[in-house]
Structures are given as structure tokens and as C-alpha cells.
Structure 1
Amino acid sequence: MRVDGREITVSGNLLQPLVRRTNDIFRLSMATVFLAAVVTSSLVTRRDWVALERSISGVVALLTPTQSNLVYLAYGVAILALPFAILIGLITARQWRLLAAYAAAGVIAVLALSINSSGFSAPRWHFDLDDRLRTLLSQFLDDPRWIAMLAAVLTVSGPWLEARWRRWWWALLLAFVPIHLVVSAVVPARSLLGLSVGWFVGALTVLVVGTPALEVPLDGAVRALIRRGFAVTALTVVRPAGAGPLVLWAACEVADDPDVSHVPRVVTEPPQAIVEMYGPNQRSGGIVSQVWRRVRLRNSETAPLHASMRRAVEHRGLMAIAIGELGVANSTTIALAALERGWTLYAHTQPRGVTLDATSADVSLVGPVWQALGVLHRHQISHGDLRAKEITIDDGAALFGGFGSAEYGATDVLLQADIAALLVSTTAIFGAEASVGAAIAEFDETTVLNASRRLTKAALPKHIRDSVPDASVVMTAARDEVMHQTGTDRIKAETITRFTRTQVIQLVLLVALVYVAYPFISTVPAFFSELRTANWWWALLGLTVSALTYVGAAAALWACASGLVSFSHLAIMQVANTFAATTTPAGVGGLALSTRFLQKGGLGSLRATAAVALQQSVQVITHVALLIFFSVIAGTSTNLSHFVPKTTVLYLIGGIALGSIGIVTFVPALRHWLGTAVRPRLKELGGELVELMREPKRLAIIVAGCAATTLGAALALWASVEAFGGGTTFVTVTVVTMIGGTLASAAPTPGGVGAVEAALIGGLAAFGVPAAVAVPSVLLYRVLTCWLPVFVGWPVMRWLTKNDMI
């Protein structure tokens, strides 16, 4: 390459890979919205469009027929020549990879508007005006397919074109609307359809193919370096442009040009530099990432937004100068300049020293690293990217590089984030004891303790966690060492997000509650009309029995936990448990809530999980035993086909079960999982049951609590049936409740909504209860045992959360 008479050797590949960038997605999204708007408005208000365009055309059509024909002819020549001019320009620039996308976009756009119910033909949405100029050129202007093709090829070739030519050609294409109105020869509405289709096809083609390689203005970069007294003699590509900037290594000699002799020289010995070049599409996702951080994190956690890619690069260069003045920067800024075609240059000297992750892990080096961070913090500067590869050791001193996230005048939050990040980076290299000790020696214990609250996955940025092996273990080790050296019993995690995990879970549960309650809401009017004839004393009995089931469930879980938690709080938790279990499929939310409550009550994770599993196991055993007992009492003559699956379904369930057993048997990974994960749990549960048999009093409490839960639900349904004048026995209702509830438990809907009602109504009908009684009885039963506790459970869950019980 020759620049201003200088011969410069360039080695390496300068081309960017084809990648799908954020602006490609934005372009396609906007094209989709525009196409939908044009198509919808054309279909819905086509007559209004025609009337409006005729009226406007009649008002602004000031040209005589001869003048209109000349304008029409000139514009037609320009539109006809436009695609060929773009094609010639691409061939001249040797953009061979673009030609296939260029041709594909044009052909697809034309075909998209040529297909109708009768085959291939052009749309005919214009007026038949006898005074129109009828020439070959006018047919191109009248045909929306030509406009669509032009829009498609312009969109595809846009990333390769210079901004000036791109703007002029788009202005020429969009000029068809005012020209058509002035000439009063054609309705532009159909051309808008061509424009929207072409833009959509072109945007989709660019997204599929990827943003192309752009011409790199190396001559401008060389001139910018020469102006700084850095006469480049050779450029070597270190890293092609892609997810990051184009990085080049530049060799030079001291500039001897008289015109630049007055410029301060910042060259090194030997003269060399690292040149980073950011293309116009290089950081298209930067603003999206910054906005997402603003939405997700609190304001104190995010730095001010950079308005553009150039401002972000300038910020990095200025921070390098500021930190260099403090003597802790490993490189010096050489040049920063805006180049042609939207590129930005940032050049700096080669980093001095050896990166921290490449050192011999000498413990004596951890002190200088923390001392260097102390220098930054005393000047109210945060680094923001304290990975080991951004820290170098030069002659025993620690230096920093990579200042893209640095902030001058940083807040206390950003300074604490620096300390937490460096704790992770240094702990991974030097160990927790040396790292925490050096941090406390440089800062005080309170500062390090407050910063250690950010040693969590949510608080530490992903690039920091990815820079160390097994980040979770490293964070735990650093946090434990901070507690040890500061004498603290517990470190509470810092909340950095706008919404905590608990708030997100509660929001999801509320949405689920609305979803599952919607089918019930539709039956509310008919249900309330039936309530006028209900016996409210029976309904009150059902409500009382429903409340007692929570006492039974609490007693069973209290005994499973060996009485190590508060029984009263456990009973209150059962109300919140109903909310969590109803709003999640298969009741998994209730199990998770119970486990969490026991953990907060002082039980370990394994002990809490075992207690919940034990309670559920005894509940199943008790349920099956009661079902067999009451089924025998009810007799075998009753028709249960309404809620018992058909033989085909039973065979299907059996086949699926056998197939699952076969898959587990023949797949090694599943056998390993069964042996390492499931079998130990089952063995532990079996041991718990055997141990429970040796404690009759505790066993009796658990069985009585589980039985009270099952029988209480049956008694509540029986009271609901009696409230509407039903004539069935408690034994039959118990069978219906247990069988119907068992079958509906497999339903995928939260709380079994829909499945429970259908199973119970069908079961009551099988025992001869009329539908006029069964339907309102089941709805009242669900109100008493499900919906009232659910709406009460929401504030109860918030109260438990506020008091740190869950």
C-alpha cells in the first residue's frame, strides 16, 4: 500500500467475517412493520387512499401535459439506470460476494409481487388515464415490481456503499411519490407496496447473508498516525474485525517530515504500536447492551450511556490518559481519530510487562496489584474490567490496561464492584488468604466486607466470571476468607437488580393465578344464581373443615421435621403453600416453599428436603390406604366409568411406563443417573421410613395429619353437596374426592383447574348425584378449598417474605 509517497507493507486478512448484527435485526423489524402497515391500510382503506391521492394529485398537478411528460421521462430514465449503476459500482469495487445476494434479493422481490391466484402476473392497482405517457419507461414506473426490486437491491448493497451515494440513491427512489403526485399520472399507493416488499426482502437477505466486509480506510489511519509523529512502515493484522475491533500491529520510524516536526512524539523504542479500528457496524449492539443494563440493573450499577461508538472509543482513550498520569497504565494513547466510511481509530503503545495470569503466581505480587487499585480509588477512578489479562506486572509494579469500562468520578457502588472483581481475579491466582489479606491491608475491613457482598453471580459481570476457572468455587472461597479475616458470621448478598428473584417469582405466580382463574370466572354468574338456594350452615361447615386441613398438614410436616420449627408459623405457611401450589403445575411451588421454610427455620438443605419428601411419601401411602378402605365400604356395584380411565387409556399408561423402564435400562447415561441420583434418595427415604417406624408417637402424628388432609377435603365436598340438598353419603363422596383428585393430579394446568372440576362432577354423577346439584357443589367446594385460600395466601406469602421466613 502506498500513502503519500510512502510504501507501507500490509500483511494479514483485513476483511470482516459475515455476521448478523443488531442493526440487521432492527432493519428487518422496521421493514416488517412497514410492510404490515402498507398491506393492512391498502386492504382496509384502499378506496380512501384512491380518493385522497386523486384529490392531492388534482391540487398539486401544476405542470402542463408536455412538462409532465418530460419530468416523467427524465425520472423514468433515472429509475431504469439506478440498478445498473449500483451493479457497475459493485463490480468496480470487486464486491464479488455481494453479487449473489444482490441478484437473489432482486429476483425474490419481483416474484413476490408477481404471484396471485391465477399464476404469475403484475398487479393492476392504478387508474386507466388516457392522457398518460405510454412508453417503455412509463411501464417501469407504473409497475410496483420494479420499485420492489430497486428497494431490495439498494437495501442489500447499502452496507457496501458510501453513505453519500446511499443517501442520494434512496432519495431518488423515494422521489416517485411527489413526482407521481405532481405529474398526476399514477397512484403511488401501489408503488408503496412495492417499496415495502422490496425493503423487507432486502432486509431479510442481509440478515441471512450477514453484514458484509467493509473497505478499511488504512490510508486515513496511516495519515492520522503520521500527524502524531508516528511514521508507519508496516502493518500486520493481529485480529480480524468481528465481535471486536480490527487490531493491527504497526511498526514505524520517527517521522522526519518537516510538517510534523513540531508534533510531540509518543513513539517507543523500538517504535511500534497497537492500532484498533472500529467499523460502522462494529459496536451496533453496544447501545442495546447499555439499554438492557439500564432496564435490568439499578441506576447506581450502570455507567452513563455512550451516545455513539465514537464516543465510547474517545472515553476509553481519555481514561487511558488520565490513568497514565497516575503511573498505573500499561500503555500510552498515541492517536484517536474519526476516519472515512464511519471508522474510528484508536492507537496506543504496546502494553508493558507480563499479564497477571501468565505470571508464576508469586504471592509477593498480590500486594502491588491491590496497591495499584488503591491509587485508582484514591483518585475516584473505577476500572470496571479487572480481569487478570488486563493487569500486567512490569519490574515488580502492577499496571492496568483495557479502560473501556473505566469511570472518572466513580460512585461508591462502582468502586465496590472493582474490589469484588479483583478479589475473584487474585483469588483464582494467589489463593483466598493472600488476596483478602492484601485487600484489607490496602483498604479497611469495612470496605472489603461491603464489597464482598457483591461476590455473587448476579453482581459480578459475566466476563469477570468467565475469566476464572470454576467461578462459583472462587467466589465462595473469597467470601469465606473475608468472613474469617473480618470475624463476621454472615455476609448478606447485595441486591443489584431492579427486581429481586422473589419479586419475579411472585409476579409469575400472579400471572399464573390469573391464567388458571380465567375458566372459573366465566362460570361465576351461573354459580352465584345457584348460591341463592344454598344452605349456608353447610357451607360454613365446609369452610371450617377446609381450615382444619391446614392444621393437619402442618402437624404432619412438623413431625417430619422432628419438631425443630415453629408449629404456629408452619400452620400459617400452609396457607401460603396453597397459593404457591395452585399457581404452579403439579404443585411443585408448594413443595419448594415448604423446603425453603424449613431451611429458614434452621434445618439444613438436605434435612429440609428429606422432611418434605418424607411427608409426601406418608401422604401417598395414607391416601392409597384410605382409598382402598373406603372403596371396599362403598361396594363394587357403583358405576365408576365416568371418572375411571377406559381400558385403552390404562393400556397406554402401562405401555408408556414399561417403555420408560426399558429406556432407562438400555441407556447407560440414564442408568448412571438412576444409580447416582435417584437410588441414593430412595435409599435415604427408605431409611427415614424405617426410622419413623421406631417412633410410634411421631408416626401417629404424621399419619393423623396426612389423614386429616385427605378426609378433610372429602368432608368439605360432602358439606358442599349437602348445602345444595344432595342425597349422597360421606363414604361415596370420600371415594369420589380421592379418586377424582388422584386422576386430576396428572393434569398439566396449575392447581388442576378444569381437570379437578370435571373429575369430581363426573364422580358425583356416577354415584347418582344430579348435575343440577353436582356442578354448584363442586364449584362451592373449589371456592372453599382452593380459591379463598389462594387469595388469602398471597398476602400471607408477602408477610412471610417480609419476616425472612421464606
Structure 2
Amino acid sequence: MPPARAGEAPPGPDTEAPRRGTAVPVDDPPRPDRIRRPADAIRFAASCVLLAAVMLLVSFAQQTTHGLQTDIAEGTAHAPRLLLSLATLASSFGVLAVPVAFAVERVVRKDGKRVAIALLAAVIAFLLTIGLDDLVVPSAPGGVLDSLIWGGTETAPVHTDIAPVIAFVSAVGMAGRARWQAATWTMIGLAALTGLTASYASVAALAATYLLGRAIGHGTLYAVGTPNPRPPGTAVVAALERLGFRPERAAYLDPADGDTEEPRRYGVALAPDEDEDAARVPARRGEWNLEVRVLDRDQQTAGVLYRVWRLLRLRGATTGRALRSLRRSLEQESLMAYAVDAAGARTPRLAGTSEVGTEAALLAYEHVPGRRLGDVPDEEVTDGLLTDVWRQFRRMQAGRLAHRRLEGHAVLVGDDGRAYVTDLRSGEVAVGDLALRLDLAQLLTTLALRAGPERAVATAAAVLGEEALAAAVPLLQRVALSRATRAALRQDRGLLTRIREQIVRLKPETEAAPVRLERFQPRTIFSIVALSFAAYIVIPQVASLDIAHLVSTATWWWVAVALGAATLTYLAAAFMLMGFVPERLPLGRTVLVQVAASFVKLVAPAAVGGVAINTRYLQRSGVRPGPAVASVGASQLVGMVTHILLLILFGFLTGSTNKATQDLAPSRTIVIAVFVLALVAGLTLTVPKVRRVVSSRMRSMFSGVVPRLVDVLQSPRKLATGMGGTLLLTVAFVLCLDASIRAFGGSLHWTSVVVVFLTANALGSAAPTPGGLGAVEGALTLALTISGLAAETATSAVLLYRLLTLWLPVLPGWAAFAYLQRKQAI
């Protein structure tokens, strides 16, 4: 009998027994009675978030909800009364009758546990809605809850009649039963319409009722656990028989190590047909004819949060869909299997597909005896095997097919020594160049982890060519690789660098600049949160200021002094850079680079933007990449040491010369705080992972710095220029801050101003926000207030100081940045 068509739904009940008289033995592991599905937790959380959003939206848009309610009332007033009466009658009967009928049908099919859980969810929803309607809202002061959600209307807070039904429907599960779903939701919709026409519930109340019912249904299902919906191995065998196969025995196959999202797999041995030679059927018990992959509906949401995160974080065309239905997953893998075979790449042949009841589907592949690449011993990973892998990959690339999961378990090494491409669940057809290059970067890394970068690159170049490998260099980034591969790279952090080096040796002119794949980095989220927190603190202070009064009372010649000091900082920064570069740099262009760096501050943390643009400038000026990084690192290191020494020196001077700033002096409290911080830092560095991260960051930042400093020390003129620029930079910023304070009538001892600046600048450099936003303003305002300035004067001075040093240079910085780019100076 020929196999059924791919994807054809099986007839009969959910788990039809085999039609042959003798049951097929299936070696299946014990199945848990109940499971907690990630999908239920996700839907519960999503319903709660949307419910909160409805409450917040309606509280801000009460007039809109009133208008919408009025429009609906006027519209239904013109509807035929007979039609509304029929809808009311049908909903009153059907809203309970349809779910009850479905529950009876499930009980008859021996699915009573699911019905019991759904009834529990309905009871919880009923009690909660009664409590909201009769207890919480009337007792709220002035009808707070009613006003928050429903704009103070005279409607019921929640629809008591349909909330339990929605909770029941959400918990009982009607996936794959389209007629029952249509009938149930039609009745619920009619009941909602009845509530609107009778002014029993508003639109907002119905939205909240729906979301509350969904939250209770899925929350109950996740808390209690749903009866295991996954069909057993016997149901899988029965589905194979309906496809025309004759299973003789079957056994569950263990999943690949580290792949928690892999579908269930069964090995199946087939009995020979009556007219088939028995010798053609495997005689040994360890051999199979088919390998069956079972797609369980509840597993379709496994890892969905991670996939959504990747989809949001990475740029377009780098990831597939975050969430697919069971039918979509079945069709995608089937299409990919046929497409890979048509492209000429070696892969197990897809023999048939079928649904297994309503909760699963299967794909039956011809079994290829062998081992996954990750399980093959190192001595058997020969150059011939690697070359064969690259040949199969080349055929997929020629067919515009992206695998997206080319890890060790995606390559099968057959007993005949040939490579097969497997695990096609995430693949896509007709993809763009970026997806193909990402596949190449992934496979390069996978094979390099097994055979080393030299052999991986050499065998790839022999098959794909040097040009193809060069296209993968910009994509050899951790973020472009799969989660399992990134975890493996933690054991060999320099592997990607060595792969790039091997490719560059083959093709020296390769451009190694990485392609930007990320829409944003995790620190961007931290920056947004920090900026929001800073705005929460700073905006009320700014709002309380009388800007017109401040402008009219400001001493403008002090403002001019502050502006001149701010301008002087760019000359000082240029001297600081030039002093630590043995090569000769033009003063004018170097100053212009520092002006351009003020524009970069708005898109990068203060300690990062300047380093990046100065390093790029040195490279464009003819300094090799290594010495360029070392020169910038040397200037940063000297600046950091100078900053710390000045802070300690002026801290003691401040405490001994100015009573108004005793809180800033190195008192016993500060000494204790320093010791506590040192102790915490020391304990943190005892953690090996933290120690490795810190040491690698320090090495990458200051590698080659010492030889560069030795070169500078040999030239007294260079040393004087660098140290002079470092000190001049601090003096200019202090002068700008002091002039800003005096512009609004304030006055502090100059040592106090130095301490305030050094403290705020250190916080700004450490903060991951662009330009130190939030951290600098908060630290400056607090320190100036502690030093004795009035809060209004301190806030005004800080705003002027930041205007002159951060915001005002943005437009000139942008112009300088564009000019330098046109001149190819950065």
C-alpha cells in the first residue's frame, strides 16, 4: 500500500490503535501524567500585561471610552429588536451549552482530567469576578477601581457570565478542533454583544473580562499541570500504518546532548511485504528502516522567549520566525527536506508525514546508520570527512537554502563514512546572501571546534574558494552564532580570532570589519533605564527653575569665561593624544578630531566614544593598528592615574581648608567606604569567571601600553606635551565649572570645585550612558549642594556646565565628524 500524502490528517479518533491483530512492540520511556507547558506561562504573563495595559489606557482615555460606549449604544438602538432578541436568547443558552457539550465529548474520549482542571479555572474565575463586582469595587474609595478601568460608568466591572466560560475554554484546550472553537467563541461574542446593548458592560470591561479569563485559565493550567497531551509511541506506530508502512517494532531514541528543543525520535523496523525478500529487511535488532521525528504541539513554544529576544535584538533576515504553529513546523521541515534533496545535498530521504491526533505530527525519514559529528572521535574526523561536509554545504548554498542550525548534531556521519545533513527544522528556502553567509560562519566555527581552525579553513577553501570564505570574515562574531556554539566558545575564547587569521592568510586583502548584526546591545537597555531614572530626578529640578529669571540674572561675562574654558578642553585633549604618539600629528586636525568626539559621546558611553574615534584617527594617519590602540591606551592609563592622584590630593586639601566641605573630606566614613569597596572588589575577583573577564578587558585595553610609554619617555618633549595636556584638560574643566557657578552668583573654594569635578567625572566615565548622562548631572548637583551651594544655584550651574561641555558642541562635532569622514581622516 503506498504511503499517504505528506501532511494528510489521519482519520478516526486521536490515538487510533493499530489495525493489525498483533500489537507492535514499542520501547517507550515512562510518560509523566502531567506536564507544565511553557506556552501556558507565556500566555498567562501576556494576559496579565495586556490587562494592566487596558487598565492604564482607559484611566488616561476616559473620554474616549465614554464616546465609544455612546457610539455603540446609538448604533445598537437602530438595530432590529427581533435580531437583538434572538442574539440574546442564543447567547443565554449557548454560552453554557456549547462548553458543556464539549466537556461531555472530552469525558467520553477519556480526557476527564483536562475537563476537571478547566472546571477549576472556571470556578476561580467565577469567585474572583463576584468578588470584584460585589466587594472590591463598592468598597473602593470613590469607586477607584471602577473609575480606573471603566471610566466611572455605571456598568459592571467584569462580565460575570462569560469570564468563567473564557477561563474554561482557555484551560480545556480546543486546539485543532475548529468547529468547537467557532461555536464557543460565537456564543461568547453574542453574550458580549448582549452586555453592550443592555449597558451591562462597557467595551473596556469586556476587554478586561476576556484578558482576566484568559489569565486565570492559563495560570491554572500551568499551576496544576496539564494532562500529558503527547501521543505515546503506539499512536506514532498507528499513524505510520495509516501511511502504508508495516512497523514490526519501534524504540525511543535518546536526544542529542545539549539540544533541549529536539523533537522526540523513534527508530522503526519494518516488516517485509508478502512479495518482498525477507533478506532485504534488516536482520539485526539494532538496525532500523525509519527514523521518525515527532513534533509535539506543546513543544512548539520551547525556547520562544529566547527566539523573540534574538529576533528583536538582531537585524533583519538573521533569524527565522520566533513562533510557529504545529502545521507550519510540519510544512517547513517537509519543504526543507525535499529542497535539500533536490539541491543534490546528501540527506536522509523523507518517506512520509502525517498528523498524530490533534496534538502532534510526525516526519518519517529513511534511517541512515551512523553517528552525529559531535559523537565522532577526533581521530575519525579526517580531512576527507571535512571536505565531504563542505561539498554538501556548497550544494545547499547553490540552492539558496539556509540551515540555521549547523551544529555538531546537524551533521550525520554514516557508517559508510559519508556526511549527511540532518535536523532541518529551522531551515528556510530562497534566502538572501546574509543568511547564507551566517550559515557559513556557523559551520566554520562548528568544524573548527572539532578539527581546529587550520583544517576547517583549509578544507573549506578547497571546496568553496577563498572569495566565499572572505565573505564570512565580517560575520565571525559570537552574536551571529547559535546558543550552543557560543557556550562552547567559552572554553576557547580565541577561536574566532584564529579562524579570521587563517582566512586572512589565504586572502590578505580581506576586509575584516564586522557586519553590524545587532539592533541594540544589552547595555543599551541599561542606558535607557539609567536615562529614565536620571530624567525622573533631573526634570523636576529643571521644571522648578524660573528659566527667564535665571537668564536675566546670570552674569554673562562669567558665562563667556565658562565657554572659553570649555573650548580650551579640545586643545588640551589634542595635546594629550599627541604626547603619547611618537609619530607626528598635525595640531589642527587633531583638535578637530576631539571636536568630532564630542558628537560621538551622544551615541556611546563617555569612556568608549573618544577611545574609538582616536584609535581610528591614528590608524588613518598611518599608525599601525597595534601601536594605535597602545597609544590611546597609554593616554587613557596616564589620565586615569593622574585623575586618581589628583582626587586623593585635593580631597585632603579640601578637608583641611574648607569647613563647608567637611562632608567631602576623607573622613572616617569615606575611609571605611573605601576599605569596604576594596574588600568587595577583592572578593569578587576571587571568582574565576569574573577574574578572567576583568583580566581580558584590561589586557585588551592596555596591551602594548608599557612599550609605548617607554617610547614616549625617550622624548622629553612628547612627555611634556602629553602630561601638560592631561593637566590642562583637568584645569579647563574645573575652570568651566567654577565659572558656571559664579555666573549664577555662587562661590566655592577652588579646591572644592576640583574635588566635585573629579568625583563627577569619574562617575560619568564609569556610567554606561552616552556622555555620562544622568550620572554626571546627579553627582555634580549632589556634590555642589553638599559643598554649601543653594539647590537652585547648584542645579543652574550644572545645567550651564553640561550645556557648554556636552550639548552645545554637538552641532560643531557633527560637522567636524562629517568633514573628517569626507577627508578619510577617521
Asked if these proteins are the same fold (TM beyond 0.5), I'd say: yes
Q: Deviations for 1:750-776, whole angstroms, at most 9, x for unmatched residues?
A: 36214424644775859xxxx998886
User: Which whole-Å CA distance do the structure 2 matches of 1:668 and 1:775 have between them?
Assistant: 38
Which residue of the partner structure matches residue 3 of structure 1? 18
The equivalent residue for 1:572 is: 592
> CA–CA distance in 2 between the matches of 1:143 and 1:500?
40
CA RMSD of aligned residues (A): 5.6
Correspondences of 1:410-429 after superposition (within 5 Å)? 411-429=432-450
Give the unaligned 5+ runs of structure 1.
Answer: 124-140
Query: Is the Cα–Cα contact under 8 Å of residues 630 and 705 in structure 2 kept in the other structure?
Result: no
Q: Which of the residues 711, 720, 735 maps onto 2:751? A: 735
In structure 1, the partner of 2:11 is: none
8 Å Cα contact 2:350-2:366 kept in structure 1: yes
Structure 2 gap segments, 5+ residues each: 1-15, 140-155, 768-772
Which of these residues, 316, 327, 332, is aligned with residue 310 of structure 1?
327
User: Sequence identity, in percent?
Assistant: 21
Aligned to 2:365: 348
Q: 1:105·1:156 contact (CA, 8 Å) conserved in 2?
A: yes
Partner AA of 2:663 in structure 1: P
Work out which of the residue numbers 438, 446, 463 in structure 2 matches 1:442. Answer: 463
> Contact 1:159/1:212 (CA < 8 Å) preserved in 2?
no
The whole-number CA distance in structure 2 between the counterparts of 1:75 and 1:22 is: 30
- Cα pair distance change 1:719/1:439, threshold 3 Å: closer
Q: 1:147: Cα distance to partner?
A: 3.7
SS in 2 for 1:337: strand
Distance 2:398 2:573 in 1: 58
The answer to whether structure 1 residue 753 and structure 2 residue 791 are counterparts is no
TM-superposed CA distance for 1:348, in Å, is 0.8
Distance of 2:608 and 2:186 partners within structure 1? 59
Structure 1 residue 274 and structure 2 residue 291: aligned? yes
1: CA distance, partners of 2:812 / 2:129 = 59
Amino acid in structure 2 at the alignment position of 1:366: L
Counterpart CA distance in 2 for 1:502 and 1:11 is 46
| 1:713, distance to aligned residue in structure 2 (A) | 3.4
Match of 1:335 among 352, 355, 366: 352
Deviations 1:306-357 (A, max 9, x none): 9854344334334434544566424121112345415332111112444334
Task: Report the CA distance shift for 1:619/1:805 in structure 2 as closer, same or farther (over 3 A).
Answer: farther
Task: For residue 352 of structure 2, give the secondary structure of its aligned residue in structure 1.
Answer: strand
Deviation digits for residues 442-484 of structure 1 (CA, Å, limit 9, x no counterpart): 2332223223443222334445555778464333232222222
Q: Following superposition of structure 1 onto structure 2, how do residues 53-64 of structure 1 map, counting pairs within 5 Å?
A: 56=76, 60-62=80-82
Q: Alpha carbons of 1:25 and 1:12: their partners in 2 closer, same or farther (altered >3 Å)?
A: same
8 Å CA contact retained: 2:117, 2:224? yes
What is the CA distance between 1:516 and its match in structure 2? 9.7
Query: 2:163 matched to 1:148?
Result: yes
Match of 1:133 in 2: none
* In 2: Cα distance, 1:385 partner to 1:531 partner: 62
> Would the alpha carbon gap of residues 683 and 382 (structure 1) be closer, same or farther in structure 2, given more than 3 Å must change?
closer
| Cα offsets for 1:475-527 (capped at 9, x unmatched) | 323222222233x1654144253748799799979978995996499469844
The answer on 1:283 being equivalent to 2:295 is no
Which amino acid is 2:686 matched to? A
CA distance in 2, matches of 1:671, 1:754: 34
Letter in 2 for 1:436: V
Match for residue 638 of structure 2 among 604, 609, 614: 614
How far has the Cα of 1:91 moved from its partner? Answer: 5.3
Q: Which residue of 2 aligns with 1:113?
A: 129
Higher radius of gyration, 1 or 2: 1
Secondary structure at 2:731 match in 1: helix
Structure 1 residue 216 corresponds to structure 2 residue 231:
yes
More deviation, 423-432/496-505: 496-505
Alpha-carbon contact 2:25-2:248 (below 8 Å) kept: yes
Q: CA deviation at 1:645?
A: 1.6
Q: CA distance change for structure 1 residues 802 and 427 in 2, over 3 Å: closer, same or farther?
A: farther
Q: How does 1:314-713 map to 2 (within 5 A)?
A: 314-324=331-341, 328-341=345-358, 343-357=360-374, 358-359=376-377, 360-378=380-398, 381=401, 383-389=403-409, 390-406=411-427, 411-465=432-486, 470=491, 472-486=493-507, 488=508, 491-495=511-515, 497=517, 499=519, 515=535, 519=539, 522=542, 526-527=546-547, 529-531=549-551, 539-562=559-582, 568-578=588-598, 587-589=606-608, 592-593=611-612, 596=615, 600=619, 602-604=625-627, 605=629, 608-622=632-646, 636=657, 640-641=659-660, 643-645=661-663, 650-661=667-678, 669=686, 697-713=717-733
How far the C-alpha of 1:100 sits from its partner, in A, is: 7.0
- Out of 197, 201, 209, the position equivalent to 2:212 is 197
Letter in 1 for 2:360: W
Task: Between 358-367 and 81-90, report the one with greater CA deviation.
Answer: 81-90
Deviation at 1:618, TM superposition (A): 2.2
Name the structure 1 match of 2:253. 238
Q: 2:166 touches 2:214 (CA, 8 Å); kept in 1?
A: yes
Are the counterparts in 2 of residues 225 and 231 from structure 1 also a CA contact under 8 Å?
yes
Is residue 221 of structure 2 the alignment partner of residue 206 of structure 1? Answer: yes
> What do the CA deviations read for 1:29-51 (whole angstroms, capped 9, x no partner)?
35753686489869956899599
> 1:441, CA displacement in angstroms?
2.2
Provide the rounded CA distance (Å) in 2 between the counterparts of 1:434 and 1:269: 37
Q: Which AA in structure 2 matches 1:386? A: L
1:613 is displaced (CA, Å) by 1.4
CA distance in 2, matches of 1:570, 1:665: 39
**Is the contact made by 1:546 and 1:785 (CA closer than 8 Å) also made in structure 2?**
yes
Local SS of the residue matching 1:348:
strand
CA distance in 2, matches of 1:750, 1:246: 51
Give the whole-Å Cα distance in 1 for the aligned partners of 2:447 and 2:297.
36
Q: Do the aligned residues in 2 keep the contact of 1:57 with 1:181 (CA within 8 Å)? A: no
Matched residue type, 2:131: I
Structure 1 residues 222 and 372: alpha-carbon distance in aligned structure 2, compared to 1, 3 A threshold: same
Q: Are the counterparts in 1 of residues 38 and 302 from structure 2 also a CA contact under 8 Å?
A: yes
Say if 2:404 and 2:439, in contact at 8 Å, map to a contact too.
yes
Q: In structure 2, do the counterparts of structure 1 residues 788 and 763 end up closer, same or farther at CA, with 3 Å as the change threshold?
A: farther
Contact 2:597 2:613 in 1 (8 A): yes
Q: CA deviation at 1:548?
A: 1.7
Match of residue 265 from structure 2: 247
2:354–2:362 Cα contact (<8 Å) kept: yes
Q: The residue matched to 1:329 in structure 2 has which SS?
A: coil
How many equivalent residue pairs?
A: 760
- Which residue identity lines up with residue 734 of structure 1 in the other structure? W
**3-state SS of 2:346 partner:** coil
Deviation at 1:157, TM superposition (A): 1.4
